[in-house]
C-alpha cells in the first residue's frame, strides 16, 4: 500500500462528496424533518388541551355532579404538576331527556355534527351494571381525553359502590392508589433507574445506523460503477493499485458518513433538541440522556459494519457497467441489513437469550444487533470482543475477495458477466509480482 496515493483517493472521494449540494441537503433536511416531526407532535398535543363541550345525559341522576367535580379536580392537579397546561378542559352540561332516549340521542347527534358540542355521554343504569358507559363524538381516537374521562368515571363509580355497601369513603381514596413497577437496569457499576429514554435513544441510533449502512454502502457501489462507466478507472489504476483505490474509496465515503453524524450532533446540541423533546414527552420521560458508552459503541459498530457492507457493495459493483445491471445483486446486502433490523424487537425482549447471541455474532447482523444489546443490556465482554473479531475477520475475507473481483472487474467492459464468470475472476492468477532478475548489461 502506498499511503500517499491512497490518501489522495480518500481526499478526492471525501471532498467531492462533501462539496455537493446533495450532501448538505440530506444532512440538513434529515434533522429538519425530524424537528418538524417533533413540532407536529407538540402541536397535536396542544390540540388535545383545547376546550371540550360535553353533554351528559345522566339517567341515574347521581353521577353528573361528582363527574364534573372529578374532572375539575384532575385538571387542577395537572396544572400543579406541570407548568404548562396539558390536558383538555371539559365544559360539562347536563341535559335531561327530551322525549325518549332515542329522540334525545338523535338531537344530540345533530348538535355534534353541527359542532355545537364536542360529544355526549350517556349514563344508563342498565349499561353501567354491565360496566359500560357510552361516549359519542366525531373524534373517538383522542387518547388522552378519553382515558381522562374513563378514569374519572371509574373513580366515581368505585366510590359510589363503596358508599352503597357502607364502606368508609377514605378507603376508596386509598384503593385508588396503584402500584408502579419501576425497572432498574443492573450494570457492572450498580443499578440505575431506566426511564425508557435510553431504550428510545437506542432504537433511534439503531435506525440511524441501519439507514446509513444503506446510504453509504449504496454510494460505494455507485462510486465504483461510476468510475467504470466514466472510463476513468484505467487512467487511475495506471497510478494507483486497485486495492488502494478500493480502500481509499471506502474510507473516503465512510468519513463522509462520520461528517454527517458530526453535523447532526452539532445541530442536535445547538437547536436545543432537548427542549423540544421535553415539551413533547411531558416531563416524566425526561430528556433522553445518551450515555457516552452508547455513543462509543455506536461509532465502533458503525465503522465495523460499514466496512463489512462496503466490501460487499464493492464486490457487487465491480463487474458491472451500470447501476441497473448491479441492481439485482444489490439485493444481497439489502436483505442482510434488513435482516438485522427485522430481528431487533425479539432481541430487545430478550437481549441475553440464545437468539440475541446468535444474531449478535452472525457477521451480517452483528453490528446492528450487538450495538442494540450493549444499549439495552450488558453483554459479557468476551461476547463483544468475539463479535468485533468476527466482524474484522469477515470484513478482511470479504475485502480480499472483493479486491480480487474488483481488480479484474474494473477493466472489463462490454457485456454483463454471469455469476460463474465473476467467481472465475477471483481465481485468476494475479501473476508473479516479483519478476525474475534479468542480467542487464550496461
Partner 1 sequence: METAIQLTNVSKAFGKFKAVDNLSLNVPRGAMFGLLGPNGAGKTTSIRMIMNITAPDTGAIRILGNPMDRAMQNRIGYLPEERGLYRKMKVIDHLYFLAAIKEVGREEAKKRIADWLDKMELGPWLNKKVDELSKGMQQKIQFIATIVHDPDILILDEPFSGLDPINVALMRDYFLEFRQRGKTIVFCTHVLEQAEKLCDEITLMARSRKILEGSIKELKHRYSQDLLRISMDASLEEVRALSGVATVKAVDGTFVVGLNPGTDRREFLRRTLERYRIDAFSQKEPELEEIYLDAVKSAGIEDRVIE
Q: Are strands 184-187 and 190-193 parallel, antiparallel or unpaired?
A: antiparallel
375 and 297 in contact (C-beta within 8 Å)?
A: yes
Query: Torsion over CA of 139, 140, 144 and 148, rounded to 10 degrees?
Result: 120
Q: State the minimum distance, in angstroms, from the CB of residue 289 to partner 1.
A: 42
The yes or no reply on residue 419 touching partner 1 (CB under 8 A) is: no
Any contact of residue 247 with partner 1 (CB under 8 A)?
Answer: no
Residue with cell 446486502: 333
Closest distance of CB 263 from partner 1, Å:
21
Smallest gap from Cβ 5 to partner 1, in A, equals 5
Sequence-separated (6 or more) residues with CB below 8 Å from residue 40: none
Q: Which is nearer to partner 1, 99 or 430 (CB)?
A: 430
C-alpha 132/C-alpha 407 separation (Å) is 73
The yes or no reply on residue 81 touching partner 1 (CB under 8 A) is: no
Q: Three-class SS of residue 39?
A: helix
Distance (Å, whole) CA 2 – CA 244: 7
Q: Which stretch binds partner 1 (CB under 8 A): 232-240, 310-318, 324-332, 392-400?
A: 232-240
Q: Which of 164, 238, 292, 381 binds partner 1 (CB under 8 A)?
A: 238
Site string for partner 1, 372-391 (x = CB under 8 A): --------------------
- Minimum gap (Å) between residue 115 Cβ and partner 1: 56
Interface with partner 1 includes 239 (CB under 8 A)? yes
CB of 203 to partner 1, least distance (A): 36
Cβ atoms of 85 and 178 closer than 8 Å:
no
222 binds partner 1 (CB under 8 A): no
| φ, ψ for residue 163, nearest 5 deg | -60, -40
Does 89 help bind partner 1 (rule: CB under 8 A)? no
Cβ-contact 363, 394 below 8 angstroms: yes
Q: Report the C-alpha gap between 331 and 316 in whole angstroms.
A: 10
Beta-carbon contacts of residue 276 (< 8 Å; ≥ 6 apart): 35, 38, 39, 42
Enter the C-alpha cell of residue 270: 445547538
Of 3, 24, 400, 413, which one interacts with partner 1 (CB under 8 A)? 413
Query: Site for partner 1 (CB under 8 A): which residue of 5, 65, 195, 222?
Result: 5
* Selected binder of partner 1 within 96, 166, 345, 431 (CB under 8 A): 431
The piece of 4-12, 35-43, 136-144, 297-305 that touches partner 1 (CB under 8 A) is 4-12
Nearer to partner 1, 240 or 370 (CB): 240
> d(Cα 391, Cα 294) in Å, to the nearest integer?
19
Contacting residue, 3, 14, 16, 78, with partner 1 by CB under 8 A: 16
What b/e readout covers 205-227, taking b as 16+ CB neighbours within 10 angstroms? bbebbbebbbebbbbbbebbbeb
3-state secondary structure of 2: coil
# of chain residues touching partner 1 (CB under 8 A): 37
Residues that bind partner 1 (CB under 8 A): 2, 4-5, 8-9, 11-12, 15-16, 20, 226-227, 230-232, 234-240, 411, 413, 424, 428-433, 435-438, 440, 442
Amino acid at each position: 500500500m502506498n499511503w500517499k496515493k491512497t490518501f489522495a483517493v480518500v481526499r478526492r472521494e471525501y471532498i467531492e462528496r462533501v462539496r455537493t449540494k446533495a450532501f448538505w441537503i440530506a444532512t440538513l433536511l434529515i434533522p429538519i424533518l425530524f424537528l418538524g416531526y417533533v413540532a407536529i407532535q407538540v402541536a397535536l398535543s396542544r390540540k388535545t388541551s383545547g376546550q371540550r363541550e360535553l353533554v351528559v345525559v345522566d339517567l341515574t341522576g347521581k353521577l353528573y355532579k361528582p363527574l364534573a367535580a372529578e374532572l375539575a379536580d384532575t385538571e387542577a392537579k395537572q396544572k400543579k404538576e406541570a407548568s404548562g397546561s396539558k390536558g383538555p378542559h371539559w365544559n360539562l352540561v347536563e341535559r335531561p331527556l327530551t322525549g325518549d332516549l332515542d329522540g334525545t340521542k338523535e338531537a344530540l347527534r345533530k348538535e355534534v355534527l353541527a359542532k355545537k358540542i364536542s360529544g355526549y355521554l350517556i349514563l344508563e343504569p342498565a349499561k353501567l351494571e354491565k360496566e359500560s358507559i357510552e361516549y359519542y363524538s366525531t373524534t373517538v381516537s383522542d387518547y388522552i381525553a378519553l382515558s381522562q374521562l374513563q378514569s374519572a368515571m371509574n373513580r366515581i363509580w368505585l366510590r359510589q359502590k363503596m358508599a352503597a355497601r357502607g364502606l368508609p369513603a377514605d378507603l376508596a381514596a386509598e384503593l385508588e392508589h396503584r402500584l408502579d413497577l419501576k425497572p432498574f437496569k443492573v450494570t457492572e457499576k450498580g443499578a440505575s433507574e431506566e426511564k425508557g429514554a435510553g431504550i428510545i435513544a437506542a432504537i433511534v441510533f439503531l435506525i440511524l445506523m441501519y439507514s446509513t449502512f444503506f446510504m453509504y454502502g449504496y454510494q460505494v457501489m455507485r462510486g465504483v460503477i461510476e468510475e467504470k462507466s466514466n472510463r476513468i478507472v484505467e487512467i487511475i489504476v495506471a497510478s494507483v493499485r486497485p486495492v488502494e483505490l478500493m480502500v481509499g474509496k471506502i474510507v473516503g465515503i465512510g468519513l463522509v458518513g462520520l461528517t454527517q453524524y458530526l453535523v447532526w450532533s452539532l445541530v442536535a446540541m445547538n437547536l436545543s433538541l432537548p427542549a423540544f423533546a421535553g415539551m413533547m414527552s411531558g416531563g416524566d420521560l425526561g430528556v433522553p440522556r445518551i450515555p457516552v458508552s452508547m455513543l462509543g459503541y455506536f461509532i465502533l459498530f458503525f465503522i465495523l459494519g460499514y466496512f463489512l457492507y462496503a466490501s460487499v457493495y464493492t464486490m457487487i459493483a465491480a463487474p458491472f457497467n451500470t447501476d441497473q445491471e448491479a441492481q439485482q445483486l444489490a439485493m444481497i446486502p439489502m436483505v442482510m441489513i434488513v435482516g438485522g433490523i427485522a430481528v431487533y424487537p425479539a432481541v430487545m425482549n430478550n437481549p441475553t437469550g440464545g437468539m440475541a447471541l446468535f444474531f449478535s455474532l452472525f457477521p451480517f447482523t452483528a453490528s446492528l444487533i450487538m450495538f442494540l444489546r450493549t444499549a439495552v443490556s450488558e453483554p459479557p465482554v468476551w461476547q463483544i470482543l468475539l463479535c468485533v473479531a468476527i466482524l474484522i475477520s469477515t470484513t478482511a475475507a470479504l475485502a480480499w475477495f472483493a479486491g480480487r473481483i474488483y481488480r479484474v472487474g474494473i477493466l472489463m467492459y462490454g457485456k454483463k458477466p454471469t455469476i460463474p464468470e465473476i467467481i472465475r475472476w477471483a481465481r485468476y492468477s494475479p501473476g508473479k509480482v516479483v519478476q525474475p532478475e534479468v542480467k542487464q548489461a550496461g
